[in-house]
């Protein structure tokens, strides 16, 4: 993996990535491992996590698949204990697991709202809180990178609960940064624009997706590797004086208010 960052940038660090079984989370796990971190790859589907781990180990990195459902506090606690026992204390958390829906607000089923909030917002808080408690107890602080979205900062039709959950992630990032700075824990977020993954592939290829592309100043959707720079910056000491920041990586989408 060619990179602007040194290969040993994250040597001796243990990272935990939620949603590492596909899409952005898989790429985050690979990028962290390629820069020296040992990575606990977490999600619900073990067979998909095994693919992530195999890719990392084939490239010479170190990773472990750990099942975790972010909506289940016991599952989160078990996963952190497993990662800690096998790899050592987690000092980099990438809080990435997430879901979206495309229902119009008027038709939205309460169960869909509940599931999106439970995963994207409550789940992200549960995981961040567990990571921070461990860091404080061990006296080894670290860095938390929440994966928000441009939709936490601007609106679009048909994504109301998703946008609300990601706006919550933005405010959670700032609030946790404020509360946990005294413990030496930094909390930042990446707000990706439209990056092609399983979450949105069908939509991005549709007519609506092509119309949307015209509103992106750089006139393209992102690739998961477009997030490497922000990920490595916020995961490493290179961002030592940054906390509570939300970094958009979106081809300029946010500066176009149309
Ligand atoms: N792609 C984009 O354009 C884009 C833009 C902005 C923000 N994002 C955010 O980036 C994150 C990753 O999205 P993606 O595009 O990579 O989508 P994706 O390919 O669908 O990946 C979502 C990941 O979340 C995991 N997940 C879902 N529910 C979970 C749960 N209850 N517990 C643990 N893991 C769970 C899934 O794993 P399992 O099913 O195996 O559990 C999967 O690995 C999301 O937070 C998304 O909102 C994406």
> pLDDT (tens digit, 0 to 9) for every residue of the chain, 258 residues total?
778 899 999 999 999 999 999 999 999 999 999 999 999 999 999 999 999 999 999 999 999 999 999 999 999 999 999 999 999 999 999 999 999 998 999 999 999 999 999 999 999 999 999 999 999 999 999 999 999 999 999 999 999 999 999 999 999 999 999 999 999 999 999 999 999 998 899 889 999 999 999 999 999 999 999 999 999 999 999 999 999 999 999 999 999 987
Is the distance from the beta carbon of residue 199 to the nearest atom of ligand 1 less than 6 Å? yes
Atom 34 in ligand 1: residue holding the nearest Cα: 43
Q: Considering the domain boundaries, does residue 167 fall inside one?
A: yes
2 lies in a domain?
no
Helix (H, G, I), strand (E, B), or coil: what is residue 76?
Answer: helix
Is residue 1 a part of any domain in this protein?
Answer: no
Determine whether 162 is an active site residue: yes
Contact present, 68 and 76 (Cβ < 8 Å): yes
How far is ligand 1, taken at its centre, from the CA of residue 108, in Å?
A: 20
Residue 182: which CATH number? 3.40.50.720
Residue 9 maps to a domain = no
Domain that holds residue 26: 14-248
Structural domains counted in the chain: 1
- Ligand 1 atom, smallest distance to 24 CA: 16
Closest by CA position to 15, among listed 52, 43, 40: 40
Confirm if 183 and 135 have CB atoms less than 8 A apart.
yes
pLDDT score at 1: 74
Q: Is residue 22 part of a domain?
A: yes
Counting other chains too, the contacts that 54-58 makes at CB distance below 8 Å and 24 or more residues apart are 55/26, 55/30, 56/29, 56/30
Does 258 fall in a domain?
no
175's CB contacts (< 8 A; 6+ apart) are: none
Phi, psi of 5 (to 5 degrees): -100, 150
Q: Which residues pair with 62 in a beta bridge?
A: 38
Q: Does residue 94 belong to any structural domain of this protein?
A: yes
Residue 116 lies in a domain: yes
The confidence score (pLDDT) of residue 258 equals 73
């Amino acid at each position: 993996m060619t990179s602007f960052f040194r290969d040993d940038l994250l040597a001796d660090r243990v990272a935990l990535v939620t949603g590492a079984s596909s899409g952005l989370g898989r790429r985050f796990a690979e990028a962290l491992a390629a820069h020296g971190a040992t990575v606990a790859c977490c999600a619900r589907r073990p067979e998909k996590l095994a693919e992530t781990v195999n890719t990392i180990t084939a490239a010479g990195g170190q990773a472990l698949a750990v099942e975790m459902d972010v909506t289940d506090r016991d599952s989160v606690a078990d996963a952190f204990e497993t990662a800690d026992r096998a790899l050592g204390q987690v000092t980099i958390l990438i809080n990435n697991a997430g879901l979206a829906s495309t229902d119009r607000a008027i038709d939205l089923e309460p169960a869909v709202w509940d599931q999106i909030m439970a995963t994207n917002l409550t789940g992200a808080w549960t995981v961040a809180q567990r990571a921070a408690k461990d860091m404080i107890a061990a006296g080894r602080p670290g860095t938390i990178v929440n994966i928000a979205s441009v939709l936490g900062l601007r609106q679009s039709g048909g994504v109301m609960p998703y946008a609300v959950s990601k706006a919550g992630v933005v405010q959670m990032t700032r609030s946790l940064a404020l509360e946990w700075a005294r413990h030496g824990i930094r909390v930042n977020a990446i707000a990706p624009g439209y990056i092609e993954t399983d979450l949105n592939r069908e939509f991005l290829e549709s007519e609506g997706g092509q119309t949307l592309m015209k509103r992106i100043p750089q006139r393209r959707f992102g690739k998961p590797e477009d997030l490497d720079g922000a990920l490595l910056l916020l995961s490493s000491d290179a961002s030592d004086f940054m906390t509570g920041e939300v970094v958009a990586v979106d081809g300029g989408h946010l500066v176009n208010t149309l």
